[in-house]
Structure 1
């Protein structure tokens, strides 16, 4: 889900739903995200270490989740949007073999700042992996 054109503030309304985005959760995504963010905790790349901690497999780190949230919001808003703020809460872990599906809606618009707030969630088979809000400034 990538918008080729940037959304304009005038064209966005509170309550507008964002299209869903399904992200397959894979070992390369989890391990690559951990390595890219310099998070060398074994539970993010070593299945045996993750099992020793009581997890069934390696699990996604919060920085990878944050990046996917940003991808979702900016993919909807387009390349000319400016990222403002991110507030998220983690829930169910993301394990390989699952899919996380993002959904969201515009929850607020501020005409003075030309900003919009998006309330979103990323859900997998166990429940919400991530919930939160993102603020974007639109042209």
Structure 2
């Protein structure tokens, strides 16, 4: 992570919000609330459609960070807050800005401010603390020893 600097902006990630993503994320996280898979019941409860659960959002934020920092990255803290719901047919764009970087001989740690926006506003905001081991690289892996 030595190339990461405070103020660096991560490349944005566009995520199409599909019914399949919403339902499969809810099932994978064992969240069987009807508002995440049954459009008719979601509408009966006042929502225009099914919507993404926070655990799916949390997983997508984690993926965004580890895609940027690499396969040895370890999420140390994820502090997110939901806002505008993610409904099917929209797109969420995740963006990140490095707020802080600390380095030791063993690992480099960064705090990244993350915002995920969709067509109606900010779906998710928060910070992620990520650590990447430092040290000599192992031959053929591109990663730390």
Normalised by the size of structure 1, how large is the TM-score? 0.91
Q: Which residue of 2 aligns with 1:89?
A: 81
Deviates more, 1:88-97 or 1:78-87: 78-87
1:111 Cα deviation from its structure 2 partner: 2.1
Q: Which residue of 1 aligns with 2:103?
A: 111
Q: Which residue of 2 aligns with 1:49?
A: 41
Bigger RCO (CA 8 Å, 6+ sep): 1
- 2: distance between equivalents of 1:82 and 1:60? 25
Q: Which residue of 2 aligns with 1:20?
A: 12
1:114 Cα deviation from its structure 2 partner: 1.9
Normalised by the size of structure 2, how large is the TM-score? 0.88
SS at match of 1:11: coil
- 2: distance between equivalents of 1:46 and 1:81? 36
Q: Which residue of 1 aligns with 2:27?
A: 35
1:84 Cα deviation from its structure 2 partner: 0.8
1:82 Cα deviation from its structure 2 partner: 1.4
TM-align CA RMSD: 0.9
Q: Which runs of 5+ in 2 are unaligned?
A: 134-145
Q: Which runs of 5+ in 1 are unaligned?
A: 1-7
